[in-house]
Structure 1
């Protein structure tokens, strides 16, 4: 297992060495409080319809956003939200797709609640010094398009649908395995299940580390969390279908119900 997903204790020991990014809405960041020194980059600010694929914001927009938040390409980043990490994971995946070294990208396990239970928070304003952030869409990265998904189906790769059961039953890509992203999370701790439980669940569903794993949902938000967890567990061959079911249906892809 790697340290892609890190604990509140891990972050507390390294606060001066990392850039902490809070992706909640501004009113939560200011009104509820945040990790001291964190900068606020709300989820809606790095989602768009004019980027290179799916809901990516575009390289220039993302560079301006993170640079304005004081984040540079060489920073080690820890992101968090208060929704089990799904929105924060989307920031990390977006950064990776625009060329940020994935070894420098971390998700706070247990989200803001985990930090708040153990460590002090602040409502003080954060005014980071602007930084230079260079973003370029990585065409050799984990993002794949619809043709690669069709090839994955034909080649026997493991296709994973990370949506809820009712969504899967209404229609999914042929051959897809259902794994609701929330099944990887412990509702009580708000963090990931213990590693042994995660591996048992994945093995039970037929999602193995030696497989090529292609992930999708509806708009590539939920797969961001599953992708991050599988990276944390050391799965080496992961593909991220950014267009997800939205594009698949628009392009006339077959769906299986039930």
Structure 2
């Protein structure tokens, strides 16, 4: 289970975990970053020419983490400055390439939230190069087109579209419910809403821990955040459609409007 950790939790463990900043390099260098953080910009681990969907490929991933001084048994905390959606994609990518989910953490909030109470720096960070070894996860949440298509007829499944309402109305999978990933985030704190609010939002869409949850968006970025949140909340039957609408439409999957 991947989890979401508070700024207070991280501030006490900065020397014990590997902190990854997925913002653009100019933000990391020019605006500042968390102490001891390394820069792995989002665009560097996002590729349409790698593995399935937008995954970068095993070799690219291994090279990125090796250069950042990260090993396969390290604890990682990722952050961005966009409520965690890009950092969540990093966390899910690590999970899909075999990193221990118990050692993967998303910072609750983002750089701006951290900067309100804690120190940032523009100092460069030198790390020893490691040899990161990619492996197959013991259990992968990835599902393919055929699995999602069959889930449309499964009464125990909830197909969750994490895009915004306008996108949803333009066309979505039959029977899908709309849960804009931003509904789970508090605009003021920039982190997750309180647990009781999250439960109420999820339950209103029939998204409960006893159901089979199938997530999709356009290119699997936004579902990464929702996946991390649901995992953090204790959901254990979550399916991650990496191909999302990009593949679904290319293969003439059924869509409905409204």
* 1:170 counterpart residue number: 170
1:49: Cα distance to partner?
Answer: 1.5
- Contact conserved, 2:2 with 2:104, CA < 8 A, in 1? no
1:139: Cα distance to partner?
Answer: 8.4
Structure with the higher helix share, 1 or 2: 1
SS of alignment partner, residue 35 of structure 1? coil
* 2:220 counterpart residue number: 220
Question: Any stretches of 5+ residues in structure 2 without a counterpart?
Answer: none
- Contact conserved, 1:59 with 1:137, CA < 8 A, in 2? no
CA distance in 2, matches of 1:58, 1:94: 10
Query: Compared with structure 1, are the counterparts of its residues 239 and 135 closer, same or farther at alpha carbon in structure 2 (3 Å cutoff)?
Result: same
SS of alignment partner, residue 90 of structure 2? helix
1:175: Cα distance to partner?
Answer: 0.8
- Contact conserved, 1:52 with 1:137, CA < 8 A, in 2? no
* 2:42 counterpart residue number: 43
1:138: Cα distance to partner?
Answer: 4.1
Matched, 1:97 2:96: yes
Relative to the length of structure 2, the TM-score reads 0.97
* 1:74 counterpart residue number: 73
CA distance in 2, matches of 1:3, 1:61: 22
Query: Compared with structure 1, are the counterparts of its residues 138 and 3 closer, same or farther at alpha carbon in structure 2 (3 Å cutoff)?
Result: closer
The runs of at least 4 aligned residues of structure 1 exceeding 3 Å deviation read: 136-140
**Aligned Cα RMSD in Å?**
1.2
Question: Any stretches of 5+ residues in structure 1 without a counterpart?
Answer: none
* 1:240 counterpart residue number: 240
Matches within 5 A, 1:1-258: 4-138=3-137, 140-156=139-155, 157-258=157-258
Q: Which moved more, 1:76-85 or 1:135-144?
A: 135-144
Q: Which moved more, 1:9-18 or 1:79-88?
A: 9-18
CA distance in 2, matches of 1:137, 1:49: 20
CA distance in 2, matches of 1:29, 1:234: 32
CA distance in 2, matches of 1:139, 1:216: 22
CA distance in 1, matches of 2:54, 2:137: 15
Query: Compared with structure 1, are the counterparts of its residues 3 and 216 closer, same or farther at alpha carbon in structure 2 (3 Å cutoff)?
Result: closer
Aligned residues: 257
SS of alignment partner, residue 116 of structure 2? helix
SS of alignment partner, residue 95 of structure 1? helix
- Contact conserved, 2:2 with 2:101, CA < 8 A, in 1? no
1:126: Cα distance to partner?
Answer: 1.4
Deviations 1:154-195 (A, max 9, x none): 222111000000000000011111000000000011000001
